[in-house]
Amino acid sequence: FAGYISQVLKNYTDHACDGEYVSLRCPHRTTISIQSSFYGRIVPSHQMCPSRYPHSYATLIKEDVACSAGTSLQKMLDECQDRRSCQFLVNSRLFGADPCPGTGKYLIVWYKCRPNEYKSKVACEDDKLRLSCKKSMVIAIYSAVFGRTQGGSLECPYQNLGMPMIECQSATALQLMIKRCHGKRSCSIYASTYEFGDPCYPGIQKHLNVIYTCDNSPFLLPVDETQPPALNSSMEPVGVSTEMALLSNILAAYAFIT
């Protein structure tokens, strides 16, 4: 289960050159959630996806390193969103009109693996957010955002006080929510700058949006960090407490790296 959680929290990136297959895949009980996509070319071919034409031919045409297809995100959403896996051949015909004929292009996709069943809760700035699961189940945090997103929040409508609608997010929100709530049956936290810092300009209203699941896996039970893990003579972990400590360390390390 530690591997499952680390895969769910991870941001994935995949790429493929023209004429190659791109393949996206998520673990069991999760589906693909496309975050962003790019199709075109912004770096020379000697840095990424070399030209498939002979060098002599390539010198006859000027390579375009400032071209992109505006349809790439929508195409990836159509092909892969909410599926456990998807695979297709990359070529310019998939994305409509060729943004730069004669130039070899590539596709880059950023995605996450979203749990099939999840809950979402929002708290406006300075309100308390409460998360809870049924008896014998515990919280598994998937994502957390504190700040202001371009789409805003229906629960916390943006009041225009002369400030432009800009996006700003705390870099530590996910790490804090994992530390505060992951592996517990219930928890609460204030959606405040005291907890998360202020990632926005003064006067911009913020909100906290947390996506989580309730799981009955024993490996998500809280860990007593004051007790060192027990090891046998072969240095193998003994009992569930050590497995939980391992999961806690994996999550802490991942959050720190992020």
Q: What is the pLDDT of residue 9?
A: 59
| pTM of the full structure | 0.53
* Closest-CA residue to 211 (of 30, 81, 3): 30
Q: Matching CATH topology for 1-116 and 119-215?
A: yes
| The CATH number of the domain covering residues in 1-116 | 2.60.120.740
Instruction: Please state, in angstroms and rounded to a whole number, the distance separating the CA atoms of residues 146 and 127.
Output: 12
Write out pLDDT tens, residues 68-80. Answer: 999 999 999 999 9
Helix (H) or strand (E) holding 212: strand 207-215
Q: Widest CA span of the chain, in angstroms?
A: 70
DSSP 196: H
Q: List own/partner pairs for 153-161 with CB under 8 A and 24 or more apart.
A: 153/122, 153/124, 153/207, 153/209, 155/122, 155/124, 155/207, 156/122, 156/124, 156/125, 156/205, 156/207, 158/205, 159/205, 161/203
| Summary mean pLDDT of the chain | 77
Q: What is the pLDDT of residue 21?
A: 94
Taking the domains of the chain in order of start, what are their residue ranges? 1-116, 119-215
DSSP 220: G
Task: Tell me the CATH architecture of domain 119-215.
Answer: Sandwich (2.60)
Structure tokens at 100: 């730069």
Q: What is the pLDDT along the chain (258 residues), one digit of tens a residue?
A: 455 555 655 778 899 999 999 999 987 778 898 988 999 999 888 888 887 655 544 444 577 888 999 999 999 999 999 898 999 999 989 998 888 888 889 999 999 888 777 788 999 999 999 999 988 888 888 889 899 876 666 778 766 555 556 788 898 898 899 999 988 899 999 999 999 999 988 878 889 999 888 877 544 443 333 333 333 333 333 333 344 444 445 555 555 555
Q: What is the pLDDT of residue 5?
A: 55
Q: What is the pLDDT of residue 74?
A: 92
Write out pLDDT tens, residues 84-97. Answer: 899 999 998 999 88
